[in-house]
Amino acid sequence: MSAGCVHVVGAGVAGLSAAVRLAEQGERVVLHEAAKAAGGRCRSYHDTTLGLTIDNGNHLLLAGNRAAMAYLRLVGGLGALEDPDEAVFDFADLASGERWQLRPNAGRLPWWIFVASRRVPGTTFRDYLAPLSIMRAKTGQTIGEVMRCEGALWRRLWQPVLLAALNTEPEISAASLAAPVLRETLGAGGRACRPLVATGGLSAAFVDPALTYLAQHGGQLRLGTRLRALETAEDRVQALHFAEGDVVVGPDDAVILAVPPPVASGLLPGLTIPGEFRGILNAHFRIAPPAGQPLLLGLVGGTSEWLFAYPDRLSVTISAGDRFFDDSRESLAERIWREVAAVTGLDPGALPPWQIVKERRATFAATPEETARRPPCATAYRNLALAGDWVDTGLPATIEGAIRSGEAAVHMLQRGDSRAMRSVSRVCL
Give the interface with ligand FAD as residue ranges (CB under 6 A).
Answer: 9-15, 32-35, 40-42, 56-57, 59-61, 226-227, 258-260, 263, 280, 282, 359, 362-363, 388-389, 397-400, 402
- Give dist(CA 139, CA 136) in Å, integer: 10
Please report, to the nearest 10 degrees, the dihedral formed by the alpha carbons of residues 137, 140, 145, 148 taken in order. Answer: 50
Provide, rounded to whole angstroms, the least separation between the CB of residue 111 and ligand FAD. 28
Among candidate residues 90, 97, 150, the one with its CA nearest the CA of residue 120: 90
Provide, rounded to whole angstroms, the least separation between the CB of residue 314 and ligand FAD. 16
Nearer to ligand FAD, 134 or 402 (CB): 402
Provide, rounded to whole angstroms, the least separation between the CB of residue 227 and ligand FAD. 4
Nearer to ligand FAD, 125 or 242 (CB): 242
Nearer to ligand FAD, 41 or 118 (CB): 41
Provide, rounded to whole angstroms, the least separation between the CB of residue 259 and ligand FAD. 4
Nearer to ligand FAD, 5 or 397 (CB): 397
279's CB contacts (< 8 A; 6+ apart) are 320, 321, 322, 325, 358, 359, 360, 361, 362
Provide, rounded to whole angstroms, the least separation between the CB of residue 280 and ligand FAD. 4
Nearer to ligand FAD, 208 or 389 (CB): 389
Helix, strand, coil percentages for the chain (3-state, nearest 5): 35, 25, 40
Nearer to ligand FAD, 203 or 363 (CB): 363
- Give dist(CA 100, CA 92) in Å, integer: 7
Provide, rounded to whole angstroms, the least separation between the CB of residue 319 and ligand FAD. 8
Distance of CA 282 to the CA centre of its chain: 15
Q: Is the Cβ–Cβ distance between 42 and 59 less than 8 Å?
A: yes
Nearer to ligand FAD, 146 or 249 (CB): 249
- Give dist(CA 137, CA 129) in Å, integer: 14
CA 39, 209, 71: angle at the middle one, nearest 5?
A: 80
Among candidate residues 222, 203, 224, the one with its CA nearest the CA of residue 56: 203
